[in-house]
Copies of this chain bind each other. A is one copy, B any other.
Amino acid sequence: MTQANKTVNKATAEQKPSRYVDCEHCSMQAVCLPIGSENHAIDLTSNYLTKRIEVSAGRNSSPLLNQVTGVKLFEQAKPLTAIFAVCSGTFKLSQQNEAGIEKIVGFRFPGELMAEDALFLETYNYSAIALDDSSVCQVFVAPLSACSKLAPELQQNLIKLLTKQSYVQQRNTQALIGKKSAECLLAAFLLNICQRYAKYSGNETQIELTISRHDIANFLGIRRETLSRILSKFQQEQLISIKGKLLVLLSLNRLKQLADN
């Protein structure tokens, strides 16, 4: 474990567990765990293949234009050399279209993967931006590729991992297309992120909301104003509470009811 003391010293530290997600709760498990008893030689947790690195948040050094906040871990269209698992913190994944318009395509919490959906391809499909002081496990592709040629089981595990991941991804986005009302959309989103964050925090009724309203609205395909109104409404109706960065879900049942409409 590397040091993340900076994070601990911050004002918001009370709400945030001062620990990394452990390997047992990480989606990379299928890749990292050594395969079969005879194959112990291939242990991807050795530093040869993987490396834990810190990503400090802090806004981009150049506040010229409406630049993205946070720090880029990797960048869309650049050569892909490694994939990542989030150990602590939060990331947003964004794509820029030809016109340069930013579209948030997802968020990642501890235990979740980034760029795995482009494994063995040439370039990253999206950029990853830290919204927080974060840490990640970096898995280099070249040695992974070499290893997997030696160990067919590893490769089958990889394929299973990737297909499962892409299925989850698809469900996440397909659900949102359903053209539910913005309220349902938001209810579904809040439940989703709290549930995912719970793997890390242990509590699926609350989350430290490091994601800006702008990014949530962008991701959901609604306007910031609309998002803000619905959040206010949810608070009036005692469905949620927001104090500073802490979001609490007050009634999972009613939110679930709203979500699947």
Contact = CB atoms under 8 A, between A and B. Distances in A.
Contacts of A119: 159, 163
A174 B105 contact: yes
Interface in A73-95: 95
A82 B90 CA distance: 38
Interface in A41-74: none
B174 A118 contact: no
B221 A164 contact: no
A163 B260 contact: no
Q: How many copies make up the complex?
A: 2
Interface in A155-170: 155-156, 158-160, 162-164, 166-167, 169-170
A181 interface: no
Contact of A159 (B99, B120, B169): B120
A103 B221 contact: no
A14 interface: no
A160 B121 contact: yes
A23 interface: no
Interface in A84-126: 95, 97-99, 103, 105, 117-121, 125
A159 B155 contact: yes
A122 to B, nearest CB: 10
A139 interface: no
A170 B172 CA distance: 11
A176 interface: yes
A167 B177 CA distance: 17
Given A117-B167, A166-B169, A178-B221, 7 more contacts: A103-B174, A120-B159, A125-B170, A148-B152, A148-B156, A149-B152, A155-B156
